[in-house]
Amino acid sequence: MKLAFSTLGVPGLPLNDVLGLAAAHGYHGVELRAHPEEPVHPGLTPEERAAVAEQFRVAGIEVLGLAGYARVAAPGDDEPVLAEIRGLLDLAGDLGAPYIRVFPGGGTEQDADEADATAARRLGTAAEYAAERGVTILLETHDSHRTGADAMRVLGPVGHLRAGVLWDVMHTWLGGEQPSDSYAALSPHLGYVQVKDIASADDTTPLPLGAGVLPLTEVVDVLSRHGWDGWLCWEYEKRWYESAAPLPELLGAGREHLTRLLTDAA
């Protein structure tokens, strides 16, 4: 498996510094948070996009994906959501990134069947454009659809190769789903896996990998047992938790922890 980390852990850090951290600590790729407050976002010009792609090429680091914020199950008109997704797909295509991330984002007052149908409709439409750009849209296990079973209610009806899933292990755990059950549901559509660690269900402040309660050993065991050979991406949510320790000083130990889990599972 290949290892990556998300720029959510180093908010606003210049791209050269991000790439330097990845190379210094043995990570193969980076997941880019595609937000205007970050160095890489859909507002970049063609020249700026070409420069970003060249920076990654020179560094020998891969762009794993773009973490966007489109909410495919949210109430309202389809077109604003689809336009946001197309913008992410265009950026990913220009950077050579294989994936973009979208959220479910179903409303709390929304009927569950309606949310599923809305998300499936939008993903099905967007997947056609994704195919043109050579990019896959990944629905993250998150918020209104946090388990594998939840995500499959959307992805099953879509049935398109360019619509898949991003397995966030914290959210499936918070949803009460065992790693083996999550993998069984998600494996036909699995793009990559986001790993992290937290103290408890009531305290989701990010911790160093292995210092919390999330079942990372079980997740890696399940993936290895089934011969899955994709990406593990460490999403350290420093952006939302100012009190969390700085990610750069944790990256080396985090890579060692993941490597140890992979070795033990082999």
Which two three-digit tokens encode residue 107? 């409303």
Domain boundaries, the chain: 2-265
Query: Does pLDDT of 78 surpass 90?
Result: yes
Give the tens place of pLDDT for each residue, 94-142. 999 999 999 999 988 889 999 999 999 999 999 999 999 999 999 999 9
C-alpha dihedral (88, 89, 90, 95), degrees to nearest 10:
90
Q: What is residue 235's predicted lDDT score, i.e. its pLDDT?
A: 98
Q: What tokens appear for 229 in the block?
A: 């050979």
Cβ atoms of 146 and 172 within 8 Å: the answer is yes
Structure tokens at 4: 């990556």
Residue 156's closest CA among 192, 183, 120, 190?
120
Cα separation, 227 vs 127, whole angstroms: 27
pLDDT of residue 185: 97
* Superfamily the domain 2-265 falls into: Divalent-metal-dependent TIM barrel enzymes (3.20.20.150)
* Locus of tokens 């190769």: 161
Check residue 243 and give its pLDDT. Answer: 92
Each residue's pLDDT tens digit, 51-77: 999 999 999 999 999 999 999 999 999
- Here the tokens at position 244 are 């969390």
pLDDT digits (tens, 9 = 90+) for 232-245: 999 999 999 989 99
| All residues at 6 or more sequence positions from 14 whose CB lies less than 8 Å from its CB, including other chains | 39
* Phi, psi values for residue 37, rounded to 5°: -80, 0
